[in-house]
Amino acid sequence: MSWARLDDHFHDHPKVMAKSLAAVGLYALGLSYCADQSTEGFIPAQVVMGWDRWRAASDELLEGPALWERADGGYRVHDYLDWNPSRRKNAEQQQQQQTRKNARILAAKNERSNGVRNASGSSPASVERNAT
């Protein structure tokens, strides 16, 4: 599962304070979209157009202290990759998580198959490997 970072001082950042609540909401929707779709900060124009009630706020995000920038075919969240992991980094993290999960599943299967655990919670086979 991916996620997007939102600074804990987002609520009082001067750029944010200069925007309407609708623009700040649209910014949060954009961050969520970027993380979910692994776009590295790009939001296609048709996605924003699909957020019908939010369209008017998109211009505000481009004005003054900009939170979005115009890009071919849509918008780019300003400094997105400075604060959020890249597509490659997300893929690496997901692979590491899957490897750890597979190892836990395999360990649980091995414990069930022999049904033996020692007082420390380790199976006898792991104790023998650690002793050598």
In the chain, the number of structural domains is 2
Q: Is 112 domain-assigned?
A: yes
Shared domain check, 18 and 66 = yes
Shared domain check, 124 and 72 = no
Q: Is 3 domain-assigned?
A: no
d(CA 103, CA 30): 35
Range of the domain at 67: 10-83
d(CA 102, CA 100): 5
Nearest CA to 2 out of 85, 121, 81 is that of: 85
- Given a contact cutoff of 8 angstroms between Cβ atoms, the answer to whether 94 and 87 are in contact is no
Q: Please write the tens of the pLDDT for every residue from 66-92.
A: 999 999 999 999 999 998 888 888 778
**CA 3 to chain CA mean position, Å:** 2
Q: Is 5 domain-assigned?
A: no
Shared domain check, 54 and 96 = no
Q: Is 102 domain-assigned?
A: yes
Question: Quick check: 124 pLDDT over 80?
Answer: no
Q: What pTM value is reported for the model?
A: 0.68
- Given a contact cutoff of 8 angstroms between Cβ atoms, the answer to whether 20 and 60 are in contact is yes
